[in-house]
Amino acid sequence: MPINGWIEVDDHHCKGCGLCVEACPQDVLELNMERLTPRGYHPAQMIEETCSGCGICAVVCPDAAISVYREKPQRQAKRARR
C-alpha cells in the first residue's frame, strides 16, 4: 500500500499518554521509549507507513499534539478549509 497519510507529533504538547496509540485503527503508532520530550514524556511516533490519514489519533489526542496530513488526487486539490 502506498503512503496516503502521515502525522506529525508536537513535542511541546505531547504528554505520552498513549491514547493515540490505542486509538489508531492502522496500529501504526507507538510511544518512543528511547526519547524524552523537553517536558520529560515519551512522545508518540509513527512506526509504520500505513497511516490512512483518518485523523482518529488527532481526534482522541487531549493535547492537540497531532497534525494529520493526507495525499489527495489533484482534482480535489483545493486545500481543505481548516
Instruction: Tell me how far apart the terminal alpha carbons of the chain are, to the nearest angstrom.
Output: 27
72 binds other proteins per the rule CB under 8 A: yes
Work out how close the CB of 11 gets to other proteins at its nearest, in angstroms, rounded to a whole number. 10
Work out how close the CB of 1 gets to other proteins at its nearest, in angstroms, rounded to a whole number. 14
Work out how close the CB of 40 gets to other proteins at its nearest, in angstroms, rounded to a whole number. 7
CA–CA distances in Å: residue 28 to residues 7, 21, 22, 45, 79 = 10, 8, 10, 8, 25
Within 1-30, which residues bind other proteins (CB under 8 A)? 5, 10, 12-13, 15-19, 22-23
DSSP letter at 5 equals E
